[in-house]
Amino acid sequence: MLFNSPLFVGFYLVVFLLYWGLRHPRPQNLLLIAASYVFYGTWSWKFLLLLMASTLIDFGCGLAVDAARDPTRRRAFLAASVTANLTLLGVFKYAGFFTHEAADFLAALGVTLQPWVLHIVLPVGLSFYTFQSLGYVIDVYRRKLPAVRRLDEYALYVAFFPQLVAGPIERATHMLPQYRAPRVFNVAALESGLMLMAWGLFKKMVIADNLAPYVNHVFENPTAFSGGGLVTAVVFFAFQIYCDFSGYSDCARGVARTLGFDLMVNFNLPYFSQNPVEFWRRWHISLSQWFQDYLYFPLAMRFMRRGGFASKYKAHIISFALIGLWHGANWTFIAFGLYWGLLIAGYLYIQERLSDLPDDSALVFRSAGGAAAVLRAALSMLITFTITCLGWLLFRADSLTTAWQVLERIVAGAPGATQLVRADVMGAGWLWLMVIGLWSCEWVYRYYPASLELVAGSPARRLVWRQALLVGILLSYFASQQGKSLPFIYFQF
């Protein structure tokens, strides 16, 4: 069931009306659990059984970790949760990839082996809800919160339908108090939630879905296109994946807000970042923070104790390599993660070397005012966006060979087709206009954050602007749609 489908609209309206017809948190929660299971079960009842099994395992592990007083027993129950979640990911997401890679490696050594692999469809949202559930057990182990005693509360935490299949990856410390507290219907929350949903669908259906055919067609046969055409496709993919994923997050936050819940912001204008570290503080924030808290910090502390010149940077490289692998079983994703890990490690090393310079020398790199500061910020954004697009090239390409071919042709300025001539692909000029328009809207929102949700001004003025924005979104949708509802990109992860 997709947010951008008529089926979801009907489902949401029924849930919304039934939910606010109830008066107490527990029956509301039970309704949301049932709705969430229906929502997830529309993909496959087998996927639903897997979700339920994961919920029961980590609910039990959380209780066992909390009850155990012996450190060895607590670690054993934590290990059981980690093993169960990683086994789910390993079997359903990575087993086929690594089996085939091992067979290819042995074949290169002259050993012929026919790999036996189960052909299993990847359950939608598996990477998201296993990480959310695992984070809860780790927090209980660290005594950041007591174990949940009620199965219904924990089941809702794992399965809450707005963010179940593509995040954000929430923390139990943030969501469990909300599930326990009474919810009161609020017109302002309903209005702002609907506006978030409309904006998210606009980014997904008007921008991302119209960029997708262009990007797909170019990457299907990259050697047929010129260097300029390939640059256009890479830039378009950068905005496609941003509008697709952040559009989902906006919809999830909007739906949750209309039901009285607050989900974390998962994207914070990432293409305005001025360095690689800032980009990952603004992009897929819930995933970045998850790896930072549960992997990077423990690794960094261990490496720092061992010492050595590069010890402090190893944790970055390993963490980002695993972030890349989290996205999928493909060498392109691993290369994507290593690219960012090495890039951030190099950036931090340079920053540290600059901080060691004498004050007068460092002043040249750090200070500027007026027009110089604006120019430096603009140049930093441009450089950061360029290196981000190189990362997206690795992410989008079907193989490392394809990524290298595209990069070679871009650098060489290779000749070829500069535009597409297909009925189902919008012209590049219109697509560029969409991208620039989105960037301009986000620039306004960066400096006037109330402009998107329209929370300022008199009620009458707010109503007029909201209606005008909704009409504009609907008109742009009908004018730009190609008659297809495409799934969200991150559903495959």
Contact 184, 454 (CB under 8 A): no
Contact 277, 344 (CB under 8 A): yes
- 462 vs 466: CA distance, rounded Å: 6
Exposure on the CB side of residue 400, measured as CA atoms within 13 A: 8
Q: CA-CA distances (angstroms) from residue 289 to 258, 278, 414? A: 26, 13, 40
CB atoms under 10 Å from CB of 160, counted, come to: 27
H or E stretch at 277: helix 276-282
What are residue 261's phi and psi, to 5 degrees?
Answer: -120, 155
What are residue 119's phi and psi, to 5 degrees?
Answer: -90, 95
- 440 vs 433: CA distance, rounded Å: 10
Q: CA-CA distances (angstroms) from residue 481 to 203, 204, 435, 486? A: 12, 11, 16, 11
* C-alpha dihedral sign at 303, 144, 56, 134: negative
Q: Which amino acid is present at 431?
A: L
Burial profile 136-145: b = 16 or more Cβ within 10 angstroms, e = fewer: bbbbbbeeeb
Tell me if residue 417 falls in helix, strand or coil.
Answer: strand
Contact 287, 323 (CB under 8 A): yes
Can 327 be counted among the known catalytic residues?
Answer: yes
Residue with tokens 């963010």: 163
Where does 256-384 show beta strands of DSSP type E? none
CB atoms under 10 Å from CB of 210, counted, come to: 22
Q: Catalytic site residues? A: 327
